[in-house]
């Protein structure tokens, strides 16, 4: 077998595993998360996101998409803004890690920012990372919902979560790719849902503007 043939087979095998994993993700779990985040957004709550390593990049990516892309491109007039916060800023992580240990880098931020009605979206392939577990406990103590995106079987983080999406794989790369896809699914859903919710308000605002600018009739 040539190197090119081996590479092609590796590409095809990986793509096949990824497609199978995406197809196997429970749609009802993703839908439940979408609905909860929609309610948080409508109530003006904050969505906090965290992860380690590649999952940290995905958490920041999701924070960007949920906070910006849900407003449309270009942003729709009067589009609702979703409050999001990535907890993966290197300066913040190293400050908390230096003073309190890496296990507390997310929990301390959650304790600072989370309020009742908020949601903490925590990404972990294993579901056993001590700092993710600590963040979940801090979110519960603050009255925020815990949403876990994990790989199989989900570990302690799954057990602590109010809602969990369990990717049916133990392969880190496949789980991380699937988490990113789920983030995009949530973004697309929330953009459409918030657009539908905002249309009556936009129409009412247009009517009020028209009323203010209407020239009074002469009598």
Residue that wins the pLDDT comparison between 3 and 186: 186
- pLDDT value for 197: 77
Q: Which of 75, 92, 65 minimizes the C-alpha distance to 184?
A: 65
Note whether residue 25 is domain-resident: yes
Strand-pair partners of 180: none
d(CA 7, CA 79): 46
pLDDT above 60: residue 148: yes
58-67 tens-digit pLDDT: 999 999 999 9
The answer to whether residues 118 and 145 touch, using CB atoms and an 8 Å cutoff, is yes
Q: Is residue 211 part of a domain?
A: no
Cβ of 192: how many Cβ atoms within 10 Å? Answer: 12
pLDDT at 74: 82
Residue 5, in any domain of the structure: no
CA distance 42 to 111: 22
- Looking at residue 71, what is its pLDDT? 93
How large is the average pLDDT for residues 99-109? 98
**Average pLDDT over the chain, rounded to an integer:** 92
Whole-number Cα distances in Å, 172 to 86, 119, 125, 150, 199: 21, 25, 6, 10, 41
202 inside domain: no
Q: How far apart are the first and last CA of the chain?
A: 93
Q: How many domains does the structure of the chain reveal? A: 1
The confidence score (pLDDT) of residue 211 equals 52
User: What domain range includes position 135?
Assistant: 14-72+80-197
Distances (CA, A) of 28 to 19, 32, 34, 209: 18, 6, 10, 42
pLDDT on residue 214: 54
What average pLDDT does the segment 94-113 reach? 98
Pairing state of beta strands 163-167 and 145-151?
A: parallel
Please report, for the domain that includes residue 105, its CATH number: 3.40.50.10490
Query: Does residue 218 sit within a domain?
Result: no
What was the pLDDT predicted at 199? 63
φ and ψ at residue 5, rounded to 5 degrees: -65, -40
- H or E stretch including 50? strand 46-51
Asked, for residue 33, whether it belongs to a domain, the answer is: yes
Q: Report pTM.
A: 0.88
Task: Establish if 51 belongs to a structural domain.
Answer: yes
| Mean of pLDDT values over 144-164 | 98
Is the sign of the CA dihedral 134, 138, 143, 148 positive or negative?
Answer: negative
φ, ψ for residue 35, nearest 5 deg: -65, -40
In a domain, 203, yes or no: no
Confidence category of residue 106, pLDDT binned at 50, 70, 90: very high
Among 12-21, 46-55, 111-120, 189-198, where is mean pLDDT lowest?
189-198
């Amino acid at each position: 077998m040539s190197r090119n043939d081996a590479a092609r087979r590796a590409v095809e095998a990986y793509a096949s595993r990824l497609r199978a994993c995406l197809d196997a993700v429970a749609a009802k779990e993703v839908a439940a998360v979408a609905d909860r985040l929609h309610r948080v957004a409508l109530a003006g709550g904050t969505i906090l996101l965290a992860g380690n390593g590649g999952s940290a990049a995905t958490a920041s990516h999701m924070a960007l998409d949920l906070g910006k892309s849900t407003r449309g491109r270009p942003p729709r007039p009067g589009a609702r803004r979703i409050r999001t916060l990535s907890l993966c800023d290197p300066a913040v992580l190293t400050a908390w890690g230096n003073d309190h240990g890496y296990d507390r880098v997310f929990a301390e931020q959650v304790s600072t920012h989370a309020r009742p009605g908020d949601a903490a979206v925590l990404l972990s392939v294993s579901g056993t990372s001590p700092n993710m577990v600590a963040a979940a406990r801090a979110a519960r103590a603050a009255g925020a919902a815990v949403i876990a995106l994990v790989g199989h079987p989900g570990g302690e983080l799954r057990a602590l979560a109010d809602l969990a999406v369990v990717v049916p794989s133990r392969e880190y790369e496949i789980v991380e790719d699937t988490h990113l896809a789920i983030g995009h699914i949530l973004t697309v859903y929330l953009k459409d849902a918030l657009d539908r919710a905002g249309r009556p308000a936009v129409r009412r605002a247009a009517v009020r503007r028209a009323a203010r600018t209407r020239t009074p009739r002469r009598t």
